[in-house]
Chains A and B, each alone.
Chain A
Amino acid sequence: MTQPALLADALTVRLGMTDPVDILDGISFRLEAGRTLGVVGESGCGKSMTALAVMGLVPAPNRITGRLSLGGADLLGMSETALRRLRGKRMAMIFQEPMTALNPVVAVGTQIAEMLEVHDGVSTREARRRAVVLLREVGIAAAETRAGAYPHQLSGGMRQRVMIAMAIACRPALLIADEPTTALDVSVQAQILDLLLELQRNEGMAMLFISHDLGVISEMADDVMVMYAGRVVEQGRAAEVIGAPGHPYTKGLIETVPDISRRQRLLPVIPGGVPDPRRRGAGCGFAPRCALAEAVCVAAVPPLCGGAHRVACVHR
């Protein structure tokens, strides 16, 4: 069997030295080349922390345990130098707000060219030429002129296209997209989602796609992982997880979103909010907000059970 593009096994991130808390608690998933794993959950559930852990960007002295491998290469045992060589080249990331991720005082074409010079060792001239090609590839008209533009001269959608151009510059095997369209208008969001799908089809890269928007996840992901309070509560094929959710949290997330094909006076709600990781208790993290919760739920964390569609709930 070939190695998956990305494999996480019991990935745990422990925060703090005195009174430590596991803000990621035993995350396992497998992401194959050419596929998209959608990660969904409310703010504070650990979605972005998962991305940072993969990129090797969890700041010390927080401790990561478990296993994380990129195309078979062990990421957790790797030196910072080795990681730096992989970042940008084998794995790349795009963020919600490209304005803060781009350097405001360097022309966008130069920023992309820099990447190519560092990772691919090409000449400045060649890097510039390829930067323009990349800008064209992500759908930027008049790419030669735009390469000389500074981030503030571009619209939000254009900036996100620049970010994507930079991310795919070295043809990474893994692209992590953390809420890439949350700051964009719907019509521009649709364009960016299309662009990511087309790039994936052409390049065969694996995509870890993080969003709180279940509509976006539903349209982008092949597989879905639902996170709550630092743990995976449900995972499986997108059609199954979204079409027949097994965890009350997943069900709640889907039902709370108004649907324009239905008419309801009041929407179902999930009462309360995501708990502080220190106040998660010994049982299921979702129990305090769950209508089905009983004694067994607060006694111990329910394990993820099932074959291809796995759910961490005793009521399944």
Chain B
Amino acid sequence: MSALIASDGVSVRFASGGGLFRSRRFVRAVSDISLTLSAGETLALVGESGSGKTSFARALLGLAPISAGAVRYRGQDVAAMSRAARQAMRREVQVVFQDPFGSLDPRLAVSDIIAEPLRIHGIGDRASRVARIAALLDMVGLPRDAASRYPHQFSGGQRQRIAIARALAPEPRVIIADEPLSALDVSIQSQILNLFVELRERTGIALFLISHDLAAVHHLADRVAALYLGRIVELGPRDAIYERPAHPYTQALLGSAPRIGQGKRIPGQALTGEIPSPLAPPPGCHFHPRCKLASELCRVEAPRLAEVAPDHLAACHHPLRDHA
């Protein structure tokens, strides 16, 4: 498999505060992230709010300033791309956002919403676009007559289908989906999860999924990267991450997600504390103030991502070693 998108040590920082008498401070939203997304693969980025998931996705799309490192699309540095190459990339990398109420223009009919990327990229003529819209509506499970209606006439789940149809319109190689389920009711979430599974099988599209929902990620992802305060703490194949997490944070996240049919919870096992402010990240390993295994070393030196098993990396001085 060849890398479609590769991030090479990407960092994103935002200026914060600052004024006439105060110096500007910088918030490091994303630090030194290296990840690759291969053709046809589903890679999930998990982490709590403030972990930098969305900032990283925006950096991939060229929507957030990259302060260090580079994003490559099919081998080419995005920052040094020609206009034409960048245009092609924008066609091939599409996005689905969290809120299907905010991401669709309320004044456009569904057919215009779906046709917009086709028009922008000059794909097809009027007649072929009409046929394409009908095919896309079929693909996402909406009736053909949805084309002439407006977003407000649809439920949240149906709107998310419209957003997905729009993303699929220019036949992208990659869809970046930022929390595509979290605004939806549970019974609707499973419908959209199934839609992603079917689309992936039919089109061979690669999916970069950003989510805090570990069960949904387990259902879709081939590989999983866990983020904490802007850094990758663990990266590996789905089963390795869920069955043999090596980083205490990943293990705690998996342990925190409530599960059905396990009986009443036993208090006292929750992770203590909250994710610190990225304005003042703890020194050393960012996770050490909340970690039961933290040692002196963790307080002073940030651990590097290192292999704990083939293709399974963790950034921890004391990785969990129950790899039996």
Contact = CB atoms under 8 A, between A and B. Distances in A.
Interface of A: 42-43, 155, 157-158, 185-191, 193-194, 197-198, 212-216, 218-222, 238-239, 242-243, 252-254, 256-260, 264-270, 273
Interface in B157-173: 157
Contacts of A187: 48, 252-253, 256, 270-271, 274-275
A242 B197 CA distance: 27
B13 interface: no
Contacts of B271: 187, 190-191
A185 B186 contact: no
Contacts of A191: 270-272
Contacts of A252: 187
A256 B190 contact: yes
Interface residues of B, number: 44
B210 to A, nearest CB: 14
A269 B260 contact: no
Contact of A242 (B157, B242, B260, B269): B260
Interface of B: 48-49, 155, 157, 185-191, 193-194, 197-198, 212, 214-216, 218-219, 242, 252-265, 267-272, 274-275
20 contacts: A42-B186, A186-B212, A186-B256, A187-B256, A190-B256, A193-B270, A213-B186, A215-B260, A216-B258, A218-B258, A218-B259, A218-B263, A221-B264, A239-B263, A243-B261, A253-B186, A257-B186, A258-B190, A258-B219, A259-B215
B215 A220 contact: no
B265 A273 contact: no
Given A191-B272, A197-B265, A218-B259, A273 B190 contact: no
A238 B265 CA distance: 12
A209 to B, nearest CB: 12
Contact of B190 (A214, A222, A257): A257
Contacts of B215: 257-260
Contacts of A270: 187, 190
Nearest to A270: B187
A194 B260 contact: no
A242 B267 contact: no
Among B189, B198, B271, B274, the one with the most A-chain Cβ atoms within 10 Å of its Cβ is B274
Contacts of B155: 273
Contact of B259 (A197, A219, A253): A219
B186 A265 contact: no
A215 B189 CA distance: 15
A277 B268 CA distance: 42
Given A219-B264, A259-B215, A260-B218, A194 B270 contact: yes
Contacts of A259: 215, 259-260
A259 B242 CA distance: 12
A179 B199 CA distance: 33
Given A155-B274, A194-B265, A219-B262, A186 B214 contact: yes
Given A185-B212, A212-B186, A269-B187, A219 B265 contact: yes
A273 B157 contact: yes
Nearest to A214: B260
In the A-B complex, list the 4 residue pairs whose CB atoms are closest, starting with the nearest.
A215-B258, A190-B270, A185-B48, A256-B190
B270 A215 contact: no
A218 B23 CA distance: 50
A119 B248 CA distance: 45
Contacts of A267: 190, 193-194, 219
Nearest to A243: B261
A42 B187 contact: yes
